[in-house]
Amino acid sequence: GENVEQHPSTLSVQEGDSAVIKCTYSDSASNYFPWYKQELGKRPQLIIDIRSNVGEKKDQRIAVTLNKTAKHFSLHITETQPEDSAVYFCAACTQGGSEKLVFGKGTKLTVNP
């Protein structure tokens, strides 16, 4: 089955710096790659996603890139703010749909003022 590896497990940056989180997946049939943000004690919430027919997607300060050949995708956050502090999860989806997401183990991002 699918396996998703996520790095780093913790990331600390200064406010205004950029943050990059990387994930690799094992199943070449995976076709959907969402990123979720989870604040302490809250539910995971989708912040951006990308499909396998797209190489890059941006939404304001957040971007995701996908390299299908290398089977890895990355989350880029620019101009980080303290409210970006949270745990971020990448996920991959193979056959079917988002009912069978396989998640990475998460990255705890801390943005220091």
The residue ranges that bind another protein (CB under 8 A) are 1, 6, 9, 31-32, 34, 42-46, 49, 51, 89, 93, 96-106
Task: Report CA 36 to chain centroid distance, whole Å.
Answer: 6
Nearer to another protein, 77 or 93 (CB): 93
Q: How far is the CB of 71 from another protein (least distance, A)?
A: 17
| Shortest distance in whole angstroms from residue 43 CB to another protein | 4
CA distance 89 to 75: 10
Shortest spacing between CB 105 and another protein, in angstroms: 4
Taking the C-alpha atoms of residue 95 and residue 81, their distance in angstroms, rounded to an integer, is: 36
Residue 44 or 74 with smaller CB distance to another protein: 44
Q: Per-residue b/e over 26-42, b at no fewer than 16 CB within 10 Å?
A: ebeebbbbbbbbeeeee
Nearer to another protein, 58 or 81 (CB): 58
> How far apart are alpha carbons 29 and 8 in whole angstroms?
25
Cα–Cα distance, 72 to 86 (Å, whole number): 22
Which of residues 3 and 81 has its CB atom nearest to another protein in the complex? Answer: 3
Shortest approach of another protein to residue 96 CB, angstroms? 7
